Every structure is written in C-alpha cells, then in structure tokens.
Amino acid sequence: MQPFRLTPACKDYLWGGTRLKTVYGKRTALPVLAESWELSAHPDGDGVIACGEFAGTPFSRFAAEHPEALGGNCAGAKEFPILIKLIDAARFLSIQVHPDDGYARRVEGGRGKTEMWYVVDCEPDAFLYFGFEREISAEEMRRRIADHTITEALHKAPVHKGDVFFIGAGTIHAIGAGILLAEIQQNSNTTYRVYDFGRVGADGKPRELHVDKALDVTLRAPAPAGAPGAEMLAETADFRLRRLAKCDYFTVDALALSGNYRREMTGDSFVSVLCTEGGAALSCGGEEFPLRAGESLFVPADAPGFALTGNGELLLTTV
C-alpha cells in the first residue's frame, strides 16, 4: 500500500490566528484557523484521504477497514490511536486539563489524553503555562479559579522555536499567544476547561468551565521536566535524527534533513510524516510525493521502505 495525503479538518476556535493559511497555505473559508487536524479519525474532525486509490474515503473508515495499514502495534485496537494537529494561537488558550484513560472511560466513555507539543515558531516573548509552581491543595485551586488568580500559581514557561513539552494526562496547561506548534496526542477531544480569562463564545455567553471534573483529575504539583525517551538517535552529513518523546501512546522523532534519509518499514506501525520547515520529497514504491512546510503524509505500515530527500525539518510519528 502506498503513502497518501489527507485533507485536514479545520477548526476556527476564538483564540486562533491566520498563520496556518498565510504561512502554510491551508485552504479554508474560515476567517480564523486555530487548528488543522493533520491526521485524524476522530468524529469531531475526521480527515479525508486526498489522493491515491482511497481518495475521498474518510480516514476513520479506512482505518477500520484496513488494519494492515496501521500495523501490528494497533492489533485489536477499536479505533485509530492518535491525533496530530497544527495549532496557531493568536491569543491564549483556556487554562485546561485532560483526564487519564481510567477516568475518561469511567466518566466520559472514551480515551484520556496525553499529548506532546513541538514548537514550530513563536513570538520573541511568547510563553505558556505548564503545571504548577508548587504543590497546592484542591481547596486553593478552587479558590484561585473563583477569584481569578489561578495563573499566579502556574509555572510560566518561556518558549523558543524547537522546544518540546510533554503534557501527561492530569497536567494543567495552556498554550500562549504567538505560538505555532505541532501537537501529537491520543485520539481524544476530552478537555476540562479550568479558567478562560472571562471570555465569551460566539453566542455572547461565557464559555463553560468544568471545575469539578478538573479538580478530580489535575495533578496539583509541578510538572516533570523533559519528555520520556528523549535522545539523539543518529547524526550524519545528510541528517540528524532526534527522538523527542516515547510513551505508551506514541513515539515522535525530529528529522533535520540536509540530504537523504531512508527508513525501512517493519510492519509494526504506520509513520506520519509532517514537514514543519523547508521541504522534502518522499519516495516510496516508485512514486514520489513532494512535501512543503505544513504538509503531511501517512505511510501505511505495509508500505515498502521510503526515502526522504531535501532540506527541511520533519516530524516522524509512530505508535
């Protein structure tokens, strides 16, 4: 089976900007483009295969009908395991938290949400919130939400291009204004909004908070620094391959390409290839697929090995 592109689902959340359209050329009639769901089989934003023999097929249907394309690591899975997004935050997102698998199954009937952020670009003074500065009680957390001082208790992390943040389930967080990032996460859209800076939605009403559920799941302590499994994998004249994170749900590698890179497929997992800067050409099975910044390809687990040629920055995600 050959690689293919997906037409992403587009989201116009109120905090979004325009860089995904102006810089990455995403096509949408939406005036604001907050998120582009590059690899998604989620019902809230199912991708559609854009080329090849399965063109026009919703990705969720393809994943259900072709388990061989997902790989042995997905054997027995009831649904596609991950979701990959590009996110452009012109304004701060809400302070929020995601449940773990156990709580999500019990309360929401779905998956939890662990995620990883790779900062593609950012404004010079950009920052985000990531965990607490110190351990706090549930009572203090509830009080600070009510009296609008919750951000004073959060860890304020400066952000630079190329930074990686691993957001385990239960970690309170918020992406800051002026940040463009790639998010790799579990296939879940369950979010508990803790605080929203007093904003109102499109209906003119304050957006709903989920304080009780957030208190149930939040780890009220500083978040662990670094990402699990991070290490340098290989460095040659043509490329540098760095592991950004490896956890129970996904493995993400960053490829800095300045020539040629080849990867063999083992049948264990598909590979999502997302170009974040520059450009490359992916060759597989006698076909060539150009990749510009902001574009991605799904390489099925049963595809032959592939080669990447060019000068660019790419994220390679497997499960």
**Same-fold call for 6-217 versus 231-318:** yes
Domain boundaries, the chain: 6-217, 231-318
pLDDT digits (tens, 9 = 90+) for 210-228: 999 999 999 999 999 899 9
Q: Which CATH class is domain 6-217?
A: mainly beta
Within the chain, where are the H helices?
Answer: 19-22, 59-65, 67-70, 101-103, 138-146, 211-217
At 70, phi and psi to the nearest 5? -85, -35
DSSP reduced 3-state for 287? strand
pLDDT digits (tens, 9 = 90+) for 95-112: 999 999 999 999 999 999
When pLDDT is cut at 50, 70 and 90, the band that residue 295 belongs to is very high
Residue 133 CB: number of other CB atoms within 10 A? 12
Indicate which residues carry an active-site annotation. 193
Residue-level pLDDT at 200: 87
Residue-level pLDDT at 275: 99
Structure tokens at 276: 């974040």
Residue-level pLDDT at 78: 87
Q: Binding site: residue ranges?
A: 98, 115, 173
Residue-level pLDDT at 49: 98
Residue-level pLDDT at 84: 99
Residue-level pLDDT at 127: 98
When pLDDT is cut at 50, 70 and 90, the band that residue 316 belongs to is very high
Residue-level pLDDT at 202: 80
Residue-level pLDDT at 8: 97
Q: Is residue 313 within a helix (H) or strand (E), and if so which, with residue range?
A: strand 306-318
254 contact partners, CB below 8 Å, separation of at least 6:
118, 241, 242, 243, 244, 313, 314, 315, 316
Please report, in angstroms and rounded to a whole number, the separation of the first and last CA atoms in the chain.
18
At 59, phi and psi to the nearest 5? -65, -35
Does position 201 have pLDDT exceeding 90, yes or no?
no
Fold of 231-318: Jelly Rolls (2.60.120)
Dihedral of alpha carbons 261, 262, 266, 271, sign: positive
Mean pLDDT, rounded, of the chain: 97
Q: Binding site for Zn(2+): residue ranges?
A: 98, 115, 173
DSSP reduced 3-state for 220? coil
DSSP reduced 3-state for 221? coil
The greatest distance separating any two alpha carbons of the chain, rounded to the nearest whole angstrom, comes to 62
At 78, phi and psi to the nearest 5? -80, -20
Does position 140 have pLDDT exceeding 90, yes or no?
yes
Single-letter residue type at 223 = A
pLDDT digits (tens, 9 = 90+) for 17-76: 999 999 999 999 999 999 999 999 999 999 999 999 999 999 999 999 999 999 999 998
Residue-level pLDDT at 85: 98
Residue-level pLDDT at 153: 98
Least confident of 162-171, 198-207, 256-265: 198-207
175 vs 95: CA distance, rounded Å: 8
CA distances to 80, 149, 209, 303 from 140, in Å: 38, 10, 17, 53
Residue-level pLDDT at 204: 87
Q: Is residue 239 within a helix (H) or strand (E), and if so which, with residue range?
A: strand 239-246
